[in-house]
């Protein structure tokens, strides 16, 4: 149970820190943190939680990561479902906290703001197509799993995995925020889509399917090509 609670707390921090930076601070007049700041915020949430709860739950914070690690032989199937439920719950609680903070600003409208939701087509920050969004999310999540599995490999330098994983997520956001607002995490996407509704929930399927497919590809590729027995 401690593992599941840790996953909820960790995903809470990821959504509050990452999406919160986008909603509250990215476009703030004159001193907003911008795209670079949001990308760094997402990376910092994962890095700080990896140090804080990595020894408890492994710090997945992401259904795609959990499924990918199972596919890569690093995680037991019996924990996959409870981990995903815990992550989604943590994300939803964070989105609720963020919503009540954001609505304290005069004139705030959750739908008009976008609330850091992921989207494609007219709802993509750069107006990218569904196909571009699908490719981006699959490839970015694939690379994320390769980074995670490599950094946590027993042959890797010990103690540095949180830094590599956090910086990896930062880089992923720097590349793909203009395409989809960057998901690579179904729990993160679901948490804010619930509050936006409408287009965000209708497009949410892509931000479950693509990250999960990408995670499985990345994990299986690492296990097949770079596992210890291949060394």
Residue written as token pair 């479902």:
81
Which pLDDT score, from 0 to 100, does residue 27 have?
Answer: 83
Q: What rounded mean pLDDT belongs to the chain?
A: 95
Which pLDDT score, from 0 to 100, does residue 229 have?
Answer: 63
Query: What is the pLDDT confidence band of residue 231, given thresholds at 50, 70 and 90?
Result: very low
157: DSSP letter: P
Cα(first)–Cα(last) distance of the chain, in Å?
A: 36
Which pLDDT score, from 0 to 100, does residue 30 have?
Answer: 78
Give the closest residue to 14 by CA, choosing from 62, 63, 75. 62
Which pLDDT score, from 0 to 100, does residue 1 have?
Answer: 83
Which pLDDT score, from 0 to 100, does residue 96 have?
Answer: 97
Query: What is the pLDDT confidence band of residue 170, given thresholds at 50, 70 and 90?
Result: very high
Integer Cα distance of 208 and 75 in angstroms: 19
Structural domains for the chain = 3-226 (1.20.1080.10)
For residue 85, the surrounding DSSP H or E stretch is helix 80-102
Q: Taking each helix axis from N to C terminus, what angle separates 186-196 and 80-102, rounded to the nearest 10 degrees?
A: 40
Is residue 69 over pLDDT 60? yes
- For the whole model, what pTM was predicted? 0.94
How much of the chain, in percent, has pLDDT values that exceed 90?
Answer: 90
Contact present, 180 and 136 (Cβ < 8 Å): yes
Integer Cα distance of 155 and 179 in angstroms: 35
Integer Cα distance of 143 and 222 in angstroms: 10
């Amino acid at each position: 149970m401690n593992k599941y609670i840790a996953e909820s707390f960790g995903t809470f921090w990821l959504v509050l820190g990452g999406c919160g930076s986008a909603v509250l601070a990215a476009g703030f007049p004159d001193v907003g943190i911008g795209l670079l700041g949001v990308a760094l915020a997402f990376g910092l949430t994962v890095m700080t939680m990896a140090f804080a709860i990595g020894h408890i739950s492994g710090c997945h914070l992401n259904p795609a990561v959990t499924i990918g690690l199972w596919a890569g032989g690093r995680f037991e199937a019996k924990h996959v479902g409870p981990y995903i439920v815990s992550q989604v719950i943590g994300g939803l609680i964070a989105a609720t906290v963020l919503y009540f903070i954001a609505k304290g600003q005069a004139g705030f409208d959750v739908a008009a703001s976008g609330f850091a939701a992921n989207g494609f087509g007219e709802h993509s920050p750069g107006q990218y197509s569904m196909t571009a969004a699908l490719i981006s999310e699959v490839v970015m999540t694939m690379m994320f799993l390769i980074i995670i599995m490599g950094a946590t490999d027993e042959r890797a330098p010990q103690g540095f995995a949180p830094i590599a994983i956090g910086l990896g997520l930062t880089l992923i956001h720097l590349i793909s925020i203009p395409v989809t607002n960057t998901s690579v995490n179904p729990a993160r996407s679901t948490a804010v889509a619930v509050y936006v509704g409408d287009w965000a929930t209708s497009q949410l399927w892509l931000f479950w399917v693509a990250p999960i497919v990408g995670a499985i590809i990345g994990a299986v590729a690492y296990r097949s090509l770079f596992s210890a027995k291949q060394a």
